[in-house]
Chains A and B, each alone.
Chain A
Amino acid sequence: MQPLRPTRYIGKSVTRLEDRPLLTGAARFVADLDFPHQLHMRVVRSAHAHGRILGITTTEASALPGVVAVWTAADLGDLPPIPIRATAIQGLPPYRQPILARGRVRYVGEPVAVVFAESAYGAEDAADLVVADIEPLEPYLDVCRAPAEFAPGLTSEPTIIRKGYGDVDAAFQRAHAMVALDLSVGRHSAIPMETRGALARHDRARDVLELHGAAKRPHWNRDQLAEMLSMSPARIELYENHVGGGFGVRGEIYPEDVLVCVGARRLGRPVKWIEDRREHLLSANQSREQHHRIRAAVDAEGRFLAIDETLLHDQGAYVRTHGARVADMTIGLLLGPYRVPNYRAVAHYRLTNKTPAATYRAPGRFEGSFVRERLIDAIAQRLDLDPLEVRRRNLIGSAEMPYVRGLTALETEVILDSGDYAGLLEKALVWSGWQAMSRQAAARRAAGEAVGVGFGMFVEKSGLGPSEMVHLTVHADGTVEVVTGASSLGQGMETAIAQIAADTLGVDYRSIRVLHGNTNRIAFGFGAHASRVTVMTGEATRRAAEAVRAKALAFASELLQRDAAALDVVDGTVVAREGGGPSITLGQLAAQLAPASGSRGDREPGLAGTAWFHSKHMNYPYGVHMAQVAVDRETGGVKVERYCVAYDVGRAVNPAMIEGQIVGGLAQGLGGALLEEFLYSEDGQPLSVTFADYLTLTAREMPPVAVLITEDAPSPLNPLGLKGAGEGGVNAAGAAIASAIDDALQVAGLVARLPATPQYIRSRLRELEGGAA
């Protein structure tokens, strides 16, 4: 008899468990849900960037048939402002956003009043009739200018963050050379295709407030809402439905989430709010807007002696849930893969009269990689060296791992856990055919075209702790249920988690059902962000599955009269390793372990297990981006002709899904590098409020992308060696594109800001021609 072998799922590009309802129209996004007798909410928003509220007239709106209530800040009593989650930095609370504007408005789009009506169309009609009388004040829009006043006695610079080590001044004094750059990145945002939405209902039968449409951090949000509404967390349930993309923006607590809850409780009817796209572009978190003044001291071989960095971070109008985290991690993770003996960074965290900012996929790293890799190019130019050679000389060696940075980010110590940076660099050059790519670009330039290649190298971070818990249960029919407090934003986490559970347990991954994002199914959860789910939930799942497998084998060994070590689990059935003999399915074992089962004896009921995974440190995947572009000198338009990404993820659970993450992230990165930007007029009016003004990449602009996934440096921080893959596709896109445009136009340092729009490139060319003349 042939011994049966368990099928392995980790490392295979299996199709996703999530797909069927999404393909057939059966999915349930929050807008697809309705409750009987629900009301519709519409938010009235400020039309001014900065102003004093003199009065808000709601009489006409309230009189409209079908309108149930119209509220302003005065109606909310002492409802606390939006809480801060993610920072140890002091001094931020006075800058939090009120649920509805109080006294002043500070950005166009700020909620000033809210309407509840019988229909969505009717609520919108009524909102148009609310009149806010606002005395305009001078807006503060440019963080390069000295801070202004946020409120009497409060400046618009709540904090300055300092990080560093060594003696930077001394290093500059003995430097062979010094380069200084002034760089900036425009305002972008995640722009998930599904806008935000929330549906709250107070179930009086159970005295429970339900909030549907949760995402990203359901448990934290539940606890915060409980505190804000003076309720017990035991009386609030958050439900995650299908979520149409998150990328950092979706699932934070925003004023609207609080308003639907307050509305549902006070009005005694369910309240539904679905954001429209214009609102989304005015009010969901934005990101990336930063100015960097950076200097490097180097020796004659181009080795870093010191980096001295000043960051001016545009936070927009208020401090939201992330606090100062993006500014903080920008300077905490700026150094990427390089050895920098002395470092000093100062981040000025400044509030402006624009939409509040927070995280967006690879926050602080898209910006930081652009800045750092520009610096490498500038050093190479200055010393007349090959930029790749400058990189090689500065890369941290694999023998130096784990490498203690002496810096913090996301409230953890930065310790690069593993990596062979030089190894990946060489691998990527060969794999992509970089030499040939460069030669062909040079040949085309010689023939008159403006074609160039660009390179960017980066270190990502993933697997943010502190903890994650998983309950795993085998049902009598053999179905395995995995319950996690993490959540899904459409990235395929159910499939990845199922693959890990399947391999550990010895079942088909399709027999696994992964439940997530529902606070009433599990007591703890830390959500989906910071590329943490595969690592944290993945390892907790592996541990829970180990425990259940051991339980199953122990029981089966008694029933089958075999040594447990001689048994294996193959496709959900416990069999003898050498083949033949009796067998029993996991479902049958689960049935016999049911609490009322006569065969259970004194054994613990249920074929189930719970496991925690705790991690104090993040782990650090790393990669390389390579771009080939053609620039139209006349129009300044850039066509990305080809793109390659090599990324080491430690261990690839589902390579096709990782590739999908990388290519999808890259589309956002290329958008940020070339097209996407929220622009404001001089009086603070946002100019990018539709998809006609805020341009994202379409299939036409997307280049062919080659992806190389490597597993050279498994993380030592978890047994499977997993690292996260959510953000590597975005990270160095700005860096590689900037470098490629410089190369195409043969002007070092031409791109000093992103996005490098056609207008920007034309103006830089004119500027540089003017300067040369």
Chain B
Amino acid sequence: MDKHPLELTVNGSRFTVEVEHRKTLADTLREDCGLTGTHVGCEHGVCGACTVLVGGEPVRACLMFAHQAAGRPVRTVESLAAGERLHVLQQAFTDHHALQCGYCTPGFLMLIVGAFERDPDIADGELIEVLSSNLCRCTGYQNIIRAVRSVQDQLRGRA
């Protein structure tokens, strides 16, 4: 199959790549942009390990073709920390033991960051709904929920 040129903006940087039309955004980020923090767990939109933000919205990067992301800013887990300083959500994850193997973690981080950017006052029930769209096989979710709640408080200036 033929490769076609494509320009992607990922984490504020421009990537000029050549990929087949059928190549997913997840594979392109990983293989052509060298951003392997985005993981693939099912390739059919269920597990959420591949969640990234496209145009500010959480998206399953395994369900989107790279060419569909042309012209829309993409953000991946690699964008969160500022040098040595972790993003508050990353810090909350480590403080609350919200990760074990860490395979699902980038997907959860991007899912939650996206959800909070859309609605910082997201209701608790809704938050659980949002979290239930990604799978984790290690933690039993309890510590992920704790971590997110602690950040939620910070974001609302209560902590």
- Which residues of A does B touch, CB under 8 Å? 13, 15-16, 18-29, 31-32, 121, 190-195, 242-245, 247, 276-277, 489-492, 656-657, 659-660, 663-668, 690-692, 696-702, 704-705, 729
Contact = CB atoms under 8 A, between A and B. Distances in A.
Contacts of B106: 25
Given A16-B97, A277-B41, A664-B138, 5 more contacts: A24-B80, A25-B76, A31-B39, A192-B103, A702-B141
Given A27-B102, A193-B49, A692-B46, A245 B38 contact: no
Interface string B94-113: 11010111111110010000
A307 to B, nearest CB: 32
Contacts of A19: 93-94, 99, 102
In this complex, which of A26, A27, A692 has the most chain B Cβ atoms within 10 angstroms of its Cβ? A27
Contacts of A659: 97
7 contacts: A23-B99, A193-B137, A194-B101, A245-B101, A660-B97, A691-B135, A705-B142
B97 A23 contact: no
Interface string B15-33: 0000010110000001000
Contacts of B90: 23-24
A664 B100 CA distance: 9
B46 A245 contact: no
A16 B100 CA distance: 9
- Name the 8 nearest CB pairs between A and B, nearest first: A25-B37, A490-B101, A22-B102, A244-B103, A667-B140, A663-B140, A700-B132, A691-B46
A704 B141 contact: no
Contact of A15 (B30, B35, B95, B135): B95
Contacts of A691: 42, 44, 46-47, 135
A13 B93 CA distance: 14
A161 to B, nearest CB: 31
Contacts, number: 175
Contact of A23 (B39, B93, B142): B93
B139 A664 contact: yes
A262 to B, nearest CB: 25
B141 A491 contact: no
Contacts of B23: 121
Contacts of A489: 101
Contacts of B46: 690-692
Given A24-B81, A193-B47, A276-B43, A121 B143 contact: no
Contacts of B109: 23
Interface in B32-87: 35-44, 46-47, 49, 76-78, 80-81, 86
A191 B137 contact: yes
B102 A18 contact: yes
Nearest to A690: B44
Contacts of A492: 100
The A contact surface, by secondary structure, is loop
B129 A700 contact: yes
B84 to A, nearest CB: 9
Interface of B: 1, 20, 22-23, 30, 35-44, 46-47, 49, 76-78, 80-81, 86, 90, 93-95, 97, 99-106, 109, 128-129, 131-145
B141 A245 contact: no
A582 B104 CA distance: 50
B42 A25 contact: no
Contact of B141 (A121, A656, A698): A698
A192 B101 contact: yes
B103 A121 contact: no
Contacts of B47: 193, 277, 691
Contact of A242 (B101, B129, B140): B101
Max chain A Cβ within 10 angstroms of own Cβ: one of B103, B129, B135: B103
Given A277-B41, A663-B139, A664-B138, A16 B103 contact: no
Contacts of B145: 699
B93 A244 contact: no
B99 A22 contact: yes
Contacts of B143: 660, 663
Contact of B30 (A28, A32, A692, A698): A32
Given A191-B137, A664-B138, A692-B46, A29 B100 contact: no
**A23, A31, A656, A666 interface centre (most CB from chain B within 10 Å):** A23
Which of A660, A668, A700 is most buried by chain B, counting CB atoms within 10 A of its CB? A660
A703 to B, nearest CB: 9
A491 B100 CA distance: 6
A681 B158 CA distance: 55
Contacts of A26: 37
B103 A29 contact: yes
Contacts of B144: 699
A492 B139 CA distance: 12
A244 B102 CA distance: 7
A194 B78 contact: no
Contacts of A664: 100, 137-140
A668 B137 CA distance: 7
A191 B49 CA distance: 14
A656 B97 contact: yes
B38 A25 contact: yes
Contact of A245 (B76, B80, B138): B138
A248 to B, nearest CB: 12
A196 to B, nearest CB: 12
A697 B128 CA distance: 13
B22 A245 contact: no
B141 A667 contact: yes
A495 to B, nearest CB: 10
Contacts of A194: 39, 41, 101, 103
Contacts of A192: 101, 103, 137
Nearest to B79: A25
Contacts of B99: 19, 22-23
B109 to A, nearest CB: 7
Contacts of B40: 31
Nearest to A666: B140
B132 A699 contact: yes
Contacts of B97: 13, 15-16, 656-657, 659-660
B67 to A, nearest CB: 15
B154 to A, nearest CB: 17
